[in-house]
Amino acid sequence: MAEGKFISYLRVSREKQGRSGLGLEAQRAAVESYLNGGRWSVLAEYVEVESGKRNDRPKLTAALAHAKAMGAKVVFAKLDRLTRDVDLLRALVSSGVDLVFCDLPSVPPGPMGRFLLTQMASVAELEVGLIGERTKAALAAAKARGVKLGNPNGARALRGKQTGNAEAVAKIKENASQRAMGLQGIVEGIKRSGITSVRAIAEELNNQGVLSPRGGAWHPTAVARLLSRISEAA
């Protein structure tokens, strides 16, 4: 039986599916069915329109930040609706947020669930490696037959794709902004209640049990940074 607080994450791979609701309705129904009958509450739902091959998921980052702030679990309709990327799955397992998959009810949240998901990621990584070896063997066979391989543009094909330190710093700032946006709804609710100073907001966040980015209590300085990031991202 599902118990506790949950953040729902749904993903479709095409914009048309996102607009029409195709795929989303089935995922939402799976989540509702899984949670039905338990002492639970869905705090928020995040919907991502992104390919399963990509690990750039701003909505997923926001969902994890929201769950971590509220001490909630993130629930997914199906594991294959989350990702086919082994590194992304490993990063999620190490995020410290409990992950729940409706199609894997035998995988519990908590340390045991994270262990099982890590083993699943290892098996998936093995399969990726085996596929890579088979691909290399097939390419070698094709080359032996005289098939021309590679990009005819050579080094020009790589132009503009190098990742430098500036991009790494930008990525860190982007992640911080995404975490801030995950808390935007909570902060706006506090402001609507008449609490507007950074010190008072910090006290209210602590009273609500919302964790700071470092996992501890909120202080006025941290709240000021949070408000600034929310304003910049708006």
Partnered with residue 76 across adjacent β-strands are 9, 101
Torsion (CA) 23, 25, 28, 33 in degrees, nearest 10: -110
Q: Which residue has the tokens 């503009």?
A: 160
Distance CA 184, CA 223 (A): 12
Give the active site residues.
13
Alpha-carbon distances of 140 from 130, 148, 151, rounded to whole Å: 15, 11, 16
Q: 63 near 7, Cβ under 8 Å?
A: yes
Q: What angle do CA 142, 132, 78 make, to 5 degrees?
A: 135
Distance CA 46, CA 182 (A): 10
Alpha-carbon distances of 88 from 55, 71, 82, 117, rounded to whole Å: 6, 21, 9, 12
Provide the token pair at 88.
Answer: 């992304």
